[in-house]
Amino acid sequence: MSTPSSQTPAQPPAQTPDNGKTIAILSYITWIGWVIALVMHNGAKTKLGAFHLRQTLGLWIFSIIAGIVFGIVATILAMILPILAVIVYFAFMVVMVYLWIMGLLAAVKAEEKPMPFIGEKIQSLLKSVFTV
C-alpha cells in the first residue's frame, strides 16, 4: 500500500537545547548544584548559564562577607541589647533568602535579570569569569 502524497510520516519533535536554563537553575541549588552546573557549563557554554553562574558565585561571596560583618555587628549589639542582635540577624537572613529567590526565579524564567541591589555589581566584577 502506498500513502497519499499529501500525508507525510510523523516525525519526532525536534530536540531543542534548553540554552543553559538547566545550568542556570542548578547553579542556585547548593554548592553541589553549583559545581554540577559549572561542569555542565564547561561541556556546553551558554550565555544564560554563564550569567547565572556568576550571579550565584557573587551571591555566595557576598553572603560570606556580609555574614562576617553582620556577625560582628550582632555580637556587639548582643552585649548592648540582645533583642536588637536577633533582629539584625533575622533581617540579614531575610535579605539573603530574598536575593536567592529573585535569582532562582530569573533562572526558571530563563532571564538574564540581575539580582536586586548586588546583581549589576556582581556582573561587572565577575565579567571575565565563565565567559561564553
pTM, two decimal places: 0.81
Tens-digit pLDDT profile for residues 31-64: 999 999 999 999 889 999 999 999 999 999 999 9
Which region among 110-114, 119-123, 126-130 has the lowest average model confidence (pLDDT)? 126-130
Quick one: pLDDT at residue 86? 87
Model confidence at 11, pLDDT cuts 50, 70, 90, reads very low
Highest mean pLDDT among 16-20, 51-55, 127-131: 51-55
Tens-digit pLDDT profile for residues 61-102: 999 999 999 889 888 988 998 888 888 889 999 999 999 999
CA dist., res. 26 & res. 49, Å (int): 9
Quick one: pLDDT at residue 48? 95
DSSP 76: H
Cβ within 8 Å of residue 92, ≥6 positions away: 66, 67, 70
Domain-wise residue ranges, the chain:
21-123
CA dist., res. 66 & res. 96, Å (int): 10
